Structure 1
């Protein structure tokens, strides 16, 4: 048992709370054996328990803090805009999208703009969120540009313009830490230099590193996912590394923040059958229980989904998941709710396009061309104006594709209604799935004064019937296997299959995205209007109806 400790005292506002083992975290009588991806239930079970994953969608590289009774998490967003998604929860299981910390990716690099689109697999990688001196702080890295930071009084924004903390390629997985005396530090991995982990002092304003303070405190194969904590007078360095059996979570500690860190402990097993739970954040609830919010780090078509694991302290070290006979943790698929009697929340998905701004579940593929989309041009509709892609007829090089993450549940369905009467020659618009380099799309191909249905992926292109009406409805459905089938309708009621089944894919460190696209190979001309986007998710085996997944706080 550990007593009277302080963890990130200035950051998370929970000082001097007693820490003990966490015996009540496991749900009794629940079968924990789950074949990867075959979860029929997930999240809050509404009976005092939860099932992993808590978010069966691509929320990679998470970090999480508690501020009073609220929990905030961030996730990496790579080339998608806005960047660094921010989540909110009252119980660590029910999450909603609060906003983003980076509104304009051009603050990072012009390569992330619609006219370059040159950062697939790069862009915004793992970061950390902290609370210090009445402000929220987010630090993150990009592999080509270095480390950046921003702050906000309200995690929903507005966030300050980005400031570059370190201008150098080859760095990732940074995290700030403020000690009891107010001195700030930044830890991060120089993966380009054989994964050396560096610790710097921060300037008093937290905006820059003190380069003369630089010290390497650790190096091991693939060592990254850095966090720093101070617990009961010990500095704990949290990280992950690659062992022969796979990536595992590690921790080392010292009485001095710069080390030497001579005591270390493996916190969990690699468990490749569960895609190696690793990167994430440790935190404590108000009543003293500890948890680890993590992603499953070896991605598949659903990306790196989010799970919540109980943490048990033993001999001064946290054990992640269910402790084994060797004292190392194992994956846990079910547990008791960390906080009782909270409201059930389903992450936002649906949009009727009735607001003055896009709700925060949306992210563009790269920084969009601002004058080519509108929510006010036709109130209640999203207007997408076509312009030339960087490569002809290439969805992955077409600007202003609007996207959301794909959930992995037993049944998923996305339906959009689009008005196509203002399309022009050379224009293509519709519904798509994509990663990089994979894609599938169904929509209208306007050519030679005829609007015809078209399906296209890397291997197949199919032409369909001419569409003479003003509107068309497009749909994609998929299940736990990620096999997507496209449909179309001329009246919104009767849907017909079109195109082969498409296997959703993983690419460039990202799971599959669903998106709305519009581009024109011939000229910067043409427009579609999207009336709605309805996203049905099988929530614990019962299908919600259209408009169910608006979410919110």
Structure 2
């Protein structure tokens, strides 16, 4: 797999903490590699491929180099869109030169994958802890080889939260051999909604680092004990700017901050040990130098659910997304599983997508979408053997919001004999310009060169636990005759 250099945005001010990745990598965790380098993973929820693997040699510059999971389990469950479910708050650890990733699925339990090479193929997921509400797991291998797992709890699934438990696993980390022991109740000390624990041992202390207080206004708590099962004493070690869950390595702490439509961007903090407590402070961004790096587009895209072969296929120049058969009472794209989307990267950015749209029947729609709880799509629809370009807006898509459409252009269709019927084809390039705050401006072109602006901008909005994403869609009311959209990964205009 080709390395995909992420877009990094460091703000050169004295008042903001160091932002190392201005893109949606929620609930990050990090470990040191065998070569003194670093590996990072993050929540991917229902999107696949999942569990992104990022690599760095300095904790500042990161490359997306792999994914650890191709499809989520149970496969049938995640073949449909399960917004906000799936991979929650993973942890990545290296033990005996094998890399392990554990994550909690709030509906099914704790899963684990492992690999001797983070760049290679990861093992099939193993269900280590079965049950609802078990989330945010992190393992710790002690000096004697015994393995322990700390985790949080999701009230939405089990009726309680704000507590952390520890249980013993088999030495290979594959199965539970002990019952969960409650080691900390955050409600007692005002650390409500404590979650996302990360497990460490330093000298004679066991440490659990965990955020409390909620995503937007929370704080970092450190727990320590000389016994793995406690009792643990606590201390708030950072409380500023809504910096939330993360991981500690090499006396640095990588954590996320929620930025609405951009999702959860990553920050780098210093860790200073004072009286055996890991006190954190902001690294000022003027202390580091970074560049915006251009990136190949291909592997930055994810499907909005488990990938199925009928969703779309890789081509020699990109990806083809086939029309998803929507029901007669179709309301909006929220339940369409084969959306092919990528993250916003950077507070401001511009990207151009080159599409070839093919329709086999009247009413089929394909095109470009900025997706979230609100979304905007530029939809090409076949009507009377020609294409109509529409700007379609949906507010509160997650609450069955209705779409509103307006015709903004017409595109001549190229027809060709496809055997039993005639196919209709056109080209469409869409240029997205994202300004501060996630305000999106669109332009479109039918030749890839001359662009026409769409008069009304769109305010992007986050999805469920993820930032806004953009990419392509295709829908049809006829499951037996699907149209499609081809997305080109090269930037060559169609007339060259």
TM-score by length of 2: 0.85
| 1:201 aligned residue (168, 171, 183) | 168
Q: CA deviation at 1:444?
A: 0.6
Q: Does 1:465 align with 2:409?
A: yes
| Counterpart secondary structure, 1:396 | helix
**Distance in 2, Cα, partners of 1:334 & 1:495:** 37
| Counterpart secondary structure, 1:127 | strand
| 1:447 aligned residue (383, 386, 396) | 383
**Distance in 2, Cα, partners of 1:89 & 1:130:** 15
- Indicate conservation of the 8 Å contact 1:384/1:518, yes or no: yes
Q: CA deviation at 1:149?
A: 0.5
| Equivalences, count | 451
- Correspondence list, 1:514-529, <5 A: 514-524=470-480, 525-529=482-486
- Indicate conservation of the 8 Å contact 2:106/2:132, yes or no: yes
| 2:285 aligned residue (321, 326, 334) | 334
| Counterpart secondary structure, 1:87 | strand
In the alignment, structure 2 segments of 5+ residues that lack a partner are 1-9, 187-191, 396-403, 414-425
- Correspondence list, 1:133-148, <5 A: 133-148=96-111
- Indicate conservation of the 8 Å contact 2:358/2:483, yes or no: no
**Distance in 2, Cα, partners of 1:191 & 1:500:** 40
Q: CA deviation at 1:394?
A: 2.3
**Distance in 1, Cα, partners of 2:214 & 2:27:** 19
Taking structure 1 as reference, are residues 252 and 202 closer, same or farther at Cα in structure 2, changes over 3 Å only?
same
| Counterpart secondary structure, 2:379 | strand
Q: CA deviation at 1:408?
A: 3.1
| 2:14 aligned residue (22, 27, 32) | 32
**Distance in 1, Cα, partners of 2:177 & 2:235:** 30
Runs of 4 or more above 4 Å deviation? none
**Distance in 1, Cα, partners of 2:472 & 2:150:** 39
- Which residue matches 2:181? 215
**Distance in 2, Cα, partners of 1:388 & 1:31:** 49
Q: CA deviation at 1:260?
A: 1.4
- Which residue matches 2:20? 54
**Distance in 2, Cα, partners of 1:230 & 1:260:** 15
Q: CA deviation at 1:245?
A: 10
- Which residue matches 2:398? none
TM-score by length of 1: 0.77
Q: CA deviation at 1:125?
A: 0.8
- Correspondence list, 1:441-520, <5 A: 441-458=377-394, 460-468=404-412, 470-498=426-454, 500-520=456-476
Q: CA deviation at 1:136?
A: 0.6
| 1:247 aligned residue (218, 234, 238) | 218
The Cα offsets for residues 133-173 of structure 1, whole Å up to 9 and x where unpaired, read as 22110000011111111111111231111111111111211
Taking structure 1 as reference, are residues 489 and 434 closer, same or farther at Cα in structure 2, changes over 3 Å only?
same
In the alignment, structure 1 segments of 5+ residues that lack a partner are 1-26, 35-50, 285-289, 322-330, 352-358, 535-545, 548-553
| Counterpart secondary structure, 1:442 | strand
| 1:74 aligned residue (41, 48, 57) | 41
- Which residue matches 1:315? 275
Q: CA deviation at 1:393?
A: 5.6
Say what the alpha-carbon RMSD is for the aligned residues: 2.4
186-195 or 61-70, which moves further after superposition? Answer: 186-195
| 1:168 aligned residue (131, 148, 160) | 131
Q: Does 1:415 align with 2:382?
A: no
